[in-house]
Amino acid sequence: MRFPALRPRIAALVWHPRVVVSLVALVALVVPLGFLAAGRRDHPETLRLTAVTPGVHTWTGFDTDADLRRGRFAGTTASAGSLVLAGRLGTRVYAGRTYQVGSWSSPWVSGPSFSQLIGSWNATTPAGTWVQLLAQVRDTAGRSSGWKDLGRWSLSDSGFRRRSAGTQADAVAAVSTDTLVARRGVTLTAYRLTVRLMRLPGRTGPALRSVGAVGSRMPIGTPATSAPVQRSAITLPVPSYSQMTHRGQNPEYGGGGEAWCSPTSLAMILGYYGRLPSPSQYAWAPYQQAWVNQLARETYDYAYAGAGNWPFNTAVGARRAGEGFVTRLPSLRAAERFVRAGIPLAISVRFGRGQLAGAPISATPGHLLVLVGFTATGRPVVNDPAASTDAGVRRSYDRAQLEQAWQRSGGTTYVVRDLRHPLPPRPAGQRAW
């Protein structure tokens, strides 16, 4: 087994909101180091299990000209459903290069109180361009945080290297890789977003097609297992790819294939839509199924030193398929509506020894797999990339066990779809899509 370089990960692990403090010692004994290094982990507040309280998640997106006109433009304009550079531009020096810059800021978004915020975006980024997402939050005492950098992104890593921006802590909130987290004892009530568009002089600028965020109050305890929407079997024809096929390959992208649960899950979803990278794009990687290597490269976060940055994955998915965003869902019943609409979901799970029977790994502080269907009795059908071979990827797990493993991440979900598959109707009272 190749062991990935640890030093660039340690800082990310200290503040990452998916930390399960009580499992660290166990995981060190039972999980391959590649999984540990790639693990996505939750804020310690989720460990205070005093009662059964479901999570509360609210998604708000800005994806039309009308939505964008609710915000404030500076060197940008709304055009045909996209935010583009226009008018008087500022300049910014970054990594020794001077960029022209414009920005857009959303109005304040209020709703149910929350403790975590995850942003995501859909953008095109021609060579020499990139986008940056920032967020500011307000708490119940009326205090506002400083602006928090939630990511600097471009599809290509030639000339600019996408990256998260570190902890950025103040009295109200901090950042853990891709997630803004309230400080202990602080309750958040509102947020606003700013997007910056950057281009080298003379280049075609980036275009932002949508931006949004999901605010979450994390679940506490173990809610009752949800009931199926329908009692009929469905399994979407999602291809099966094992991340272990790529063990030891390209360790410069987050430790190698054994750590690539997120880009491998994304590859399965893009394969379902027929939107995988083309052979010319992955010709640099002399491996079978090298489209996975290409997606690991495209999702790699050069600061976090891993390919599991959530919004980086959905940004790549959106660029290739049509739309993508990170959300959180309260139950498998909610997820089933997507599957029955023809939309497979990548979901983030976390479990200890004995908590997910039949899984190819015994425990993990964070792992991505693809929900592809349900049996007639309501058991979820998944493509689990941790299987040792492609043939073992398709599995069916106990509904209660998988739902609990998923809700330990707050129900974190990648929604990636093409335009032939509209989102399902949202049930009354549900705010998270």
Please give the C-alpha separations between residue 257 and each of 151, 250, 270, in angstroms, as whole numbers. Answer: 24, 7, 18
What is the distance between the alpha carbons of residues 41 and 143, in angstroms, rounded to a whole number?
27
Among residues of the chain, what percentage have pLDDT more than 70?
88
We find that the CATH architecture of domain 1-55+223-433 is Alpha-Beta Complex (3.90)
State the chain's mean pLDDT as an integer. 90
Go through the chain and tell me how many residues it has.
433
pLDDT in tens, 172-184: 999 999 999 999 9
Helix, strand or coil, per DSSP, at residue 90 = strand
Question: Is pLDDT above 80 for 398?
Answer: yes
Q: Provide the token pair at 122.
A: 């859909």
What is the distance between the alpha carbons of residues 106 and 6, in angstroms, rounded to a whole number?
38
Please give the C-alpha separations between residue 421 and each of 235, 323, 417, in angstroms, as whole numbers. Answer: 16, 10, 6
| Residue 16 pLDDT | 46
Please give the C-alpha separations between residue 48 and each of 2, 87, 183, 299, in angstroms, as whole numbers. Answer: 36, 51, 15, 32
| Residue 115 pLDDT | 98
Write out the H or E segment, with its range, that includes residue 351.
strand 345-351
What is the b/e burial string over 27-54, where b = at least 16 CB atoms within 10 angstroms of the residue's CB?
beebbbbbbbbbbbbbbebbeeeeeeeb
Residue 306 corresponds to which amino acid? G
| Residue 5 pLDDT | 37
Q: Provide the token pair at 57.
A: 């998640």
Where are the extended beta strands (E) located within 81-206?
Answer: 82-85, 90-94, 97-105, 109-114, 116-124, 129-139, 148-153, 173-176, 179-182, 188-199
Q: Could you count the other beta carbons within 10 Å of the beta carbon of residue 72?
A: 14
Question: Is pLDDT above 80 for 9?
Answer: no
Give the pLDDT mean for 208-220: 96
Confidence of residue 34 (pLDDT cuts 50, 70, 90): very low
| Residue 51 pLDDT | 54
Domain ranges of the chain: 1-55+223-433, 56-217
Strand partners, 176: 179
Strand partners, 211: 62, 121
Helix, strand or coil, per DSSP, at residue 383 = strand
Of the listed ranges 37-51, 70-84, 283-297, the least confidently predicted one is 37-51
| Residue 230 pLDDT | 96
| Residue 53 pLDDT | 84
Residue 56 CA, chain-centre distance (Å), reads 18
Q: Under 8 Å CB-to-CB from 356, ≥6 apart: which residues?
A: 349, 397, 398, 401, 402, 405
pLDDT in tens, 142-196: 999 999 999 999 999 999 999 999 999 999 999 999 999 999 999 999 999 999 9
| Residue 155 pLDDT | 97
Whole-model pTM: value is 0.89
DSSP letter assigned to residue 331: -
| Residue 331 pLDDT | 96
pLDDT in tens, 242-274: 999 999 999 999 999 999 999 999 999 999 999
Q: Provide the token pair at 155.
A: 């599809």
List alpha helices for 142-285, DSSP H: 261-273
Please give the C-alpha separations between residue 76 and each of 121, 155, 320, in angstroms, as whole numbers. Answer: 16, 21, 24
Q: Provide the token pair at 354.
A: 């004995």
Write the class of the CATH domain 56-217: mainly beta
Backbone region of residue 222 per phi and psi (left: phi > 0; alpha: psi in -120 to 50; beta: other values): beta
> Is there a contact between 322 and 423 (Cβ–Cβ < 8 Å)?
no
